[in-house]
Amino acid sequence: MLTLPNPESLVDTLKAGGPMMVLMILASVLIVALALERWINVIRVGRAVRRLDDKVIEAARKGNFEEARRLCDSVGSPSRDVFTVGLDRALGRVKGQPRMAMQREQKRAVASLKAGIWMLGTAGALMPFIGLLGTVLGVMGSFHAIGSAGTGGFAVVSAGISEALIATAAGLFVALEAIIFFNFLQNAVGGVARDLGLLVDELNELLESREATNAGSSAG
């Protein structure tokens, strides 16, 4: 039968991990907080991209670019800037090339989504080594205990060995935690970036088609 660990025994185990456990616990809390903040941001931007598709791009498909530009202001997300800069240039409000402007803002939007995620990857790479440092300190404590007692035996070295093993396990756990969050967020950001890129390509196509139609009408 599966039983939950006793909270008191869990606290005792963490204390037995030595001073490195403070760093491990702090790192774990920061990793979860960062991952949660980034995930909420990805969800928010993803929803904004879907609203842009439903409103802005749909209006552009109907040829109503003025309405598409107006609808951009109703989308409260940095991703709207990707489309406002292109529509402003296409409508003559701002000088420049719509395609280049949208590509530039698209890069900024994707970079904003990825901001901070690198820290999760770094933590995933570093935490096993921090756990190893705790292991070394625990082993050193065991040798120090042997030297102080002048004899060996499990009773003398048990505290140091326990600290070493707990620090190793904690380092691996925090590293796995960081890597899982890192890969999950990388995949989520990639999906939102892909959807945003597809909408940018479609709006570019619609704007170029509009420009070609206007050029043909002027020539005629």
- What's the whole-number average pLDDT of the chain? 82
Q: Is residue 128 part of a domain?
A: yes
With beta carbons less than 8 A apart as the criterion, state whether 86 and 101 touch: yes
Range of the structural domain that residue 159 is part of: 19-211
Domain count, the chain: 1
Q: Is residue 60 part of a domain?
A: yes
- Residue where the block lists tokens 């530039």: 104
Q: Is residue 133 part of a domain?
A: yes
Each residue's pLDDT tens digit, 46-101: 999 999 999 999 999 999 999 999 999 888 677 889 999 999 999 989 898 999 99
Q: pTM here?
A: 0.78
Query: Residue 4 pLDDT more than 50?
Result: no
- Residue where the block lists tokens 């890969």: 183
Each residue's pLDDT tens digit, 15-43: 555 567 788 889 999 999 999 999 999 99
Q: Is residue 146 part of a domain?
A: yes
Q: Is residue 98 part of a domain?
A: yes
Q: What local confidence, expressed as pLDDT, does residue 120 receive?
A: 94
Rounded alpha-carbon distances, angstroms, from residue 206 to 36, 63, 159: 37, 8, 70
Q: Is residue 218 part of a domain?
A: no
Confidence of residue 1 (pLDDT cuts 50, 70, 90): very low
Q: What local confidence, expressed as pLDDT, does residue 10 receive?
A: 43
Q: What local confidence, expressed as pLDDT, does residue 2 receive?
A: 40
Each residue's pLDDT tens digit, 87-144: 999 998 989 899 999 999 999 999 999 999 999 999 999 888 888 777 777 666 666 6
Rounded alpha-carbon distances, angstroms, from residue 11 to 6, 7, 47, 83, 110: 9, 6, 41, 53, 41
Q: Is residue 119 part of a domain?
A: yes
Q: What local confidence, expressed as pLDDT, does residue 211 receive?
A: 83
CA angle 205, 209, 210 (to 5 degrees): 120
